[in-house]
Amino acid sequence: MRKTIAGLILIAAGVGLGLAFLHPKAPPPPGSILRARLNADIASSDPGMKRDANTDAVLLHVVEGLVAVREDGSIAPMLASGWTVSPDGRTYRFALRHGVHFHNGALLTSADVKWSLDRYLAPGSAWRCKPDLSAKGIAAVTAVRTPDPDTVEIVLDRPAPLFLPTLARLDCGSTGISHRASIGPDGKWRYPIGTGPFRWGEWRHNQYIDLVKFDGYRPLPGGTDGNAGGKHALVDRIRFSVIPDGSAASAALLRGSLDVLDALAPNELGTIEGAPGIKLDSAKSSDFYGILLQTGKPPLYDVRLRRALALSLDVAALTRVVTHGTGVPDSSPIPVVNAFHGPAEQVLVKRDLATARALVRASGYRGEPIQLLTSHSPPEMYDAAILVQAMARDAGINVQVVSLDWATQLSQYSSGDYQATMFGFSARLDPSLMYNVLIGDRAVDPRKVWNSPEAIDLLHQSVVTGDRAQRQQILDTLEEKFRADVPAIVLYNTRRVTALRAPVTGYRSWAAQTQRLWNVGLANAGLGGAR
């Protein structure tokens, strides 16, 4: 069994045919260049639309939202200097920061915010947060008003305690505000013209993405704090190189072709750790990896068989092997690092072959093959699938591993066209958002594996209450039902390890996993550090 471990989160396959997308303003002559790695190409340059974790990480250097999430999960101002909420909890009034410019030199106004929000919420939009800000979500946006150039009002159809955290979600591009010139005369997206510390430079599909320092950026006070705080471009250019193979990425770091190797493959740790001129930084991740089960298809429509599969697995041993000891075994959709990972969530499902075999017999299962889709993105997902196959066999469950390229697996996940699939979900700092990747109406969104009306109602309750104790109770009830229904089997959370060359300064890992290369510099940039 291969033990090639990448420790990466949900990513999309490279797209396109090697075409270059250039910012119309030519990049400056090469100065200090910070070279980082992506394990796959970004999905698009359109924030929160066609996206994955790599896309989010890159674009959050380019665009900013009204608010941003801090390290502790609280919400901070970003393009807004502050906000007020009406007594009925339905109207949010944002005051914009003065003197903020887009990368094309235009001054940020409330009209730009409205244009971006209207585009996100438009019919046919693929924006990730659009369902959440609809009648079936936490609240529907009924109006976006611009009483003056420095003020934006967003009106909801009902109070929504999670409205601001939703705007700040990284997987929604932090609801990044772009200038309308990001759209071409033909109405099609060109590239992001944002307000961030770096502007769009060049994108060569499956090769690299260049971001260029924005000299007109006005940082907030303070230092790095989640996706908030003060952001300073300390290098002239960032190059995100697409290097899918973990061993090749490690070799590039060791020979000096990379400065930052994020999401170091666990099986590469022994090669990198202790190498001259290399240092490590890490943090527990707010993600989860596991097996999604199609409960509406035979034979997994029988909950007894799903429970048997869960009880056939030694989750702790599997995690130790596939992550080389860097991951944390977990049976809850709420990651271990999350503040809502309480006593109910901490209970790890233990292997119980006697009960598993009894459940298999009671279900009437007769050994029909159950296809488990997987891929090598990240590589440990294939290794995990092989271990699941072997462990399930001990309980009399015939799992057949089918290895696909990532793009095909992602497509089948999106359409619900599978029996079981190994899958990982990138970090979401709010516990309800972790459950949200599983719960929903499968007829409307085939990605959802848990369409129980009770689960849908509990999820809704968890996002409309602002009381922490009450919310914990709701999440604990949801946890109990999740373990009874088994629409998915959670296996582990990762630890994000980043390897850095010695001259790199200011890099900090965090639970949300994204590479943050603002406030990151090169100690020798002024002494021959230009490349």
Answer yes or no: are the C-beta atoms of 378 and 245 closer than 8 Å.
no
Q: CB 480: neighbour CB atoms within 10 A?
A: 12
pLDDT of residue 20: 47
Q: Is the pLDDT of residue 10 over 90?
A: no
Burial code (b: 16+ CB inside 10 Å, e: under 16) for 128-151 equals bbbebbeeebbbbbeebebeeeeb
270/242 Cα distance (integer angstroms): 23
The answer as to whether 134 is a domain residue is: yes
For residue 297, name the pLDDT band (cuts at 50, 70, 90): confident
pLDDT of residue 73: 86
Q: Is the pLDDT of residue 201 over 60?
A: yes
What separation, in Å, do the N-terminal and C-terminal C-alpha atoms of the chain show? Answer: 40
Q: Is the pLDDT of residue 15 over 70?
A: no
Q: How far is CA 46 from CA 116, 193, 302, in A?
A: 11, 10, 41
- The pLDDT tens digits for 109-122 are 999 999 999 999 99
The answer as to whether 233 is a domain residue is: yes
- The pLDDT tens digits for 404-445 are 998 899 999 999 999 999 999 988 888 998 999 999 999 988
Q: Is the pLDDT of residue 486 over 70?
A: yes
Considering the domain architecture, whether residues 237 and 327 belong to the same structural domain is answered as no
Q: Is the pLDDT of residue 531 over 70?
A: no
Considering the domain architecture, whether residues 467 and 323 belong to the same structural domain is answered as yes
Q: How far is CA 236 from CA 28, 224, 233, 526, in A?
A: 8, 19, 7, 12
Answer yes or no: are the C-beta atoms of 289 and 384 closer than 8 Å.
yes
- The pLDDT tens digits for 464-480 are 887 899 999 999 999 99
Considering the domain architecture, whether residues 357 and 228 belong to the same structural domain is answered as no
Q: Is the pLDDT of residue 235 over 60?
A: yes
Considering the domain architecture, whether residues 347 and 484 belong to the same structural domain is answered as yes
- The pLDDT tens digits for 19-33 are 444 454 545 445 799
Provide the domain limits for residue 36.
18-61+196-283+496-531
Q: Is the pLDDT of residue 18 over 50?
A: no
Q: Which residue has the higher pLDDT, 340 or 378?
A: 340
pLDDT of residue 3: 35
Q: Is the pLDDT of residue 373 over 90?
A: yes
Considering the domain architecture, whether residues 364 and 385 belong to the same structural domain is answered as yes
Mean pLDDT of 186-191: 96
Mean pLDDT of 498-509: 97
Considering the domain architecture, whether residues 311 and 419 belong to the same structural domain is answered as yes
Domain boundary among 158, 183, 208: 183
Mean pLDDT of 200-214: 98
Considering the domain architecture, whether residues 279 and 292 belong to the same structural domain is answered as no
pLDDT of residue 525: 60
Q: Is 81 exposed, middle or buried (0-12, 13-18, 19+ CB in 10 A)?
A: middle
The answer as to whether 278 is a domain residue is: yes
Q: Is the pLDDT of residue 528 over 80?
A: no
For residue 4, name the pLDDT band (cuts at 50, 70, 90): very low
CATH number for the domain spanning 329: value is 3.10.105.10
pLDDT of residue 30: 58
pLDDT of residue 7: 32
Considering the domain architecture, whether residues 363 and 427 belong to the same structural domain is answered as yes
Considering the domain architecture, whether residues 370 and 268 belong to the same structural domain is answered as no
pTM for this predicted structure:
0.83
Answer yes or no: are the C-beta atoms of 175 and 120 closer than 8 Å.
yes
Q: Is the pLDDT of residue 16 over 50?
A: no
Count the domains in the chain.
3
pLDDT of residue 527: 40
pLDDT of residue 465: 84
CATH number for the domain spanning 144: value is 3.90.76.10
Considering the domain architecture, whether residues 256 and 335 belong to the same structural domain is answered as no
Q: Is the pLDDT of residue 1 over 80?
A: no
pLDDT of residue 183: 97
Q: Is 12 exposed, middle or buried (0-12, 13-18, 19+ CB in 10 A)?
A: buried
Q: Which residue has the higher pLDDT, 18 or 383?
A: 383
Considering the domain architecture, whether residues 346 and 404 belong to the same structural domain is answered as yes
The answer as to whether 522 is a domain residue is: yes
What does pLDDT average to over the chain?
A: 91
Domain boundary among 183, 206, 228: 183
The answer as to whether 6 is a domain residue is: no
Considering the domain architecture, whether residues 113 and 178 belong to the same structural domain is answered as yes
The answer as to whether 459 is a domain residue is: yes
CATH number for the domain spanning 24: value is 3.40.190.10
How far, in whole angstroms, is CA 509 from its chain's centroid?
Answer: 14
The answer as to whether 189 is a domain residue is: no
The answer as to whether 529 is a domain residue is: yes
